[in-house]
Homo-oligomer: A and B are copies of this chain.
Amino acid sequence: MELYVERGFEQTTVAEIAQRAGLTARTFFRYFADKREVLFAGSASLQEHLVSALEGAPPAAPPMEAISTALAAAAAMLGGRRAYSRQRQSVIAAHAELRERELIKMASLSAALAEGLRRRGVAAADASLAAEAGIAVFRVSFERWVSEPTERELAQVMRDSLSQLRALTADRGPDQVVDAASA
């Protein structure tokens, strides 16, 4: 991480990372599948937390409410380290390869949430859609949280984004409003 910040991701070689850690490049690859993975080491534990939060939601809660519980757990894990998150995010944002890796982690998160929902008895179709929507909220919220100058809490940003999504999907425009009124 030090090296990535100092000289950029592409400009730092695995040999250098290993050297600074007092190890060999070969050893590096025994701990990290590739050069990018260093920045995503914590993502597995984040995923576990989200899933277990999902499991802890009231059984009667509808899918998006359960997702909201999971998002709150995410906020609790990440919300305390805004400075670090900013630094990490700026490294990732600067390199397409890293953004790719981040996206696949998000996709994995989405899949895990969908599976968690299915275990709660949610229909498969609803589950993946709700999970995708939840991840969309996560992504947008996190980005806002690190980039906004205001010091709004991550959990709050997430709640706001979710209700914003609700409003957006509910808004079917003038035509549909007329239809609904005449129905």
Contact = CB atoms under 8 A, between A and B. Distances in A.
Interface in A28-70: 60-65
Given A61-B173, A103-B107, A173-B61, A144 B125 contact: yes
Interface residues of A, number: 39
B125 A132 contact: no
B133 A62 contact: no
B63 A171 contact: yes
Interface string A149-172: 000000000000100111011111
Interface of A: 60-65, 96, 99-101, 103-104, 106-107, 125-126, 128-130, 132-133, 135-137, 139-140, 143-144, 161, 164-166, 168-174
Given A103-B103, A103-B106, A136-B136, 8 more contacts: A62-B173, A99-B107, A100-B100, A100-B104, A125-B161, A129-B136, A129-B140, A166-B170
